[in-house]
Amino acid sequence: MDTIPDFLQRVKQQYLQQVSLDQFQWVTSDIEWSVLVEPFTQAYLGEFLYPSIYTKFFLKSYFRLLDKHSQNHTEPDETLLYIYIESLSSREIPPVQYTLGDCSVQVYESQNILLRAGTTGVRTWEAGMALAELLYQNPINPGTRVLELGAGTGLVSILCSKMGASVLATDGDNKVCQGVEENAHLNECELSVQRLLWGVDPPVYADLVLASDVTYEGDLRCLATTMNDLTVVNPRCKILLAATLRRRETIDNFLRLISNFHVRVLTKKKYEKLLYYDSPPVVFYEIFR
């Protein structure tokens, strides 16, 4: 295929991001439907699909669409059938790849072991994706000393490191910190990782503090204390918080706890969606002394 249509590139990005098949957007028009079931589309898919647990579900959906929408009754091609059969016995869970224009970040994560692992840090949350999009579209200056709180899988920290920032990714959970180290290694990027349990571990110098989906439950006084301490170490540091608005009272309660700061809400015009996720609204707060 000479030129890959935009929608097939979107299919590829969603596949690499392992978007849940019930939210997967295959096409948006009739013309795209007809292209989706063409033999050359199968050849294109065959170039980047590999056997994995996710691929099994992806191909099952694709074959169903082929059956339903192909007027010439196109059969699945041999390469795709081979990948599908290999996927049936595959135990492989490859890293999720987030594509932001010319930049991509891969992270190992899990939707399933969330509760078993006892931490929310094993998957990337919508606010983390939104923060990554915002930063990609409003790049930080190389050399900026960035500290991330509650880094989770490390998507945001790794992106900042790729943009040339000097990054310290932190999380209160040692296992999550270990995961960030592994993900940084996977992306061949240099960043430091350290445990920082809010309200307990000491603050560190930073020009920019980033945090996404950290205002979700429980006693947020520890988080407010850490933010406060960070601005004692560097009074000029700016905090950028991406908050998912699940319950309005939770965020209002947190804003009351940091009422000694200036807080500015960033406008939605600052970025557009580049990744694939469904989300309750995410609001960005710039917090500073």
Ligand X SMILES: C[S@@+](CC[C@H](N)C(=O)[O-])C[C@H]1O[C@@H](n2cnc3c(N)ncnc32)[C@H](O)[C@@H]1O
Q: Give residues in contact with ligand X (CB under 6 A).
A: 119-121, 124-125, 127-128, 150-152, 171-173, 176, 197-198, 212-214, 216, 222
Nearer to ligand X, 76 or 150 (CB): 150
* Cross-strand bridge partners of residue 98: 105
Write the single-letter amino acid at 111: Q
The CA-based dihedral angle spanning residues 192, 197, 200, 205, taken in that order and rounded to the nearest 10 degrees? 30
How far is it, in rounded angstroms, from Cα 144 to Cα 238? 11
How far is it, in rounded angstroms, from Cα 180 to Cα 190? 11
Least Å from the CB of residue 102 to ligand X: 22
Length of the chain: 289
Least Å from the CB of residue 200 to ligand X: 8
Nearer to ligand X, 13 or 212 (CB): 212
Least Å from the CB of residue 210 to ligand X: 8
* Ramachandran angles phi, psi of 88, nearest 5°: -60, -35
Contacts of 36 (CB under 8 A, 6+ apart): 7, 8, 11, 26, 27, 65, 69
Least Å from the CB of residue 118 to ligand X: 9
Least Å from the CB of residue 232 to ligand X: 18
How far is it, in rounded angstroms, from Cα 88 to Cα 171? 36
Contacts of 227 (CB under 8 A, 6+ apart): 209, 239, 258, 261, 287
How far is it, in rounded angstroms, from Cα 197 to Cα 171? 7
Nearer to ligand X, 125 or 285 (CB): 125
Residue of 178, 101, 180 lying closest to 136 (CA atoms): 101
Least Å from the CB of residue 233 to ligand X: 17
Nearer to ligand X, 42 or 170 (CB): 170
Tell me the HSE value of 123 on the side-chain side, using a 13 A CA sphere.
16
Nearer to ligand X, 52 or 119 (CB): 119
Least Å from the CB of residue 166 to ligand X: 19
Least Å from the CB of residue 120 to ligand X: 4
Buried b (16+ CB within 10 A) or exposed e, 254-269: bbebbeebeeeebeee
Nearer to ligand X, 36 or 122 (CB): 122
